[in-house]
């Protein structure tokens, strides 16, 4: 019997190219606080982007997607790790 966490289910959906709103994440995966989950995923190194979309009725919705981190962000992360190791 294997258990799949809510985070891994959301990550699998985003990895397959889906864009999900917070309400969709809550409804489909039972996540109580989708913003906190996305924040946790980002802290674990996943490049989750929040894009605002306007629908045909003028309502603005935030959709989350998994992207590719820019080289500058990756370089900054490695520089921060190197600086932390140098001061230790």
Q: What is the pTM of this model?
A: 0.76
Task: Please say whether the dihedral angle defined by the alpha carbons of residues 37, 7, 21 and 15, taken in this order, is positive or negative.
Answer: positive
Confidence band for 4, pLDDT divided at 50, 70 and 90: confident
The closest alpha carbon to 39, from 25, 27, 56, 52, belongs to 25
Domains (range + CATH), the chain: 6-87 (1.10.10)
Query: Residue 1: its pLDDT value, please?
Result: 44
Mean pLDDT of 65-78: 87
pLDDT digits (tens, 9 = 90+) for 10-61: 999 999 999 999 999 999 999 999 999 999 898 888 899 999 999 899 999 9
Question: 65, exposed or middle or buried, with CB in 10 Å at 0-12, 13-18, 19+?
Answer: middle
Nearest-angstrom CA–CA distance, 61 and 20 = 10
More confident residue, 78 or 24: 24
């Amino acid at each position: 019997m294997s258990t799949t966490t809510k985070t891994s289910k959301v990550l699998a959906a985003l990895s397959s190219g889906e864009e999900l709103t917070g309400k969709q994440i809550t409804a489909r995966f039972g996540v109580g606080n989708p913003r906190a989950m996305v924040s946790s995923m980002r802290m674990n190194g996943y490049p989750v982007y929040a894009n605002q979309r306007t629908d045909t009725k003028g309502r603005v919705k935030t959709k989350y997607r998994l992207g590719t981190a820019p080289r500058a962000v990756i370089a900054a992360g490695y520089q921060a790790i190197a600086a932390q190791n140098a001061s230790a």
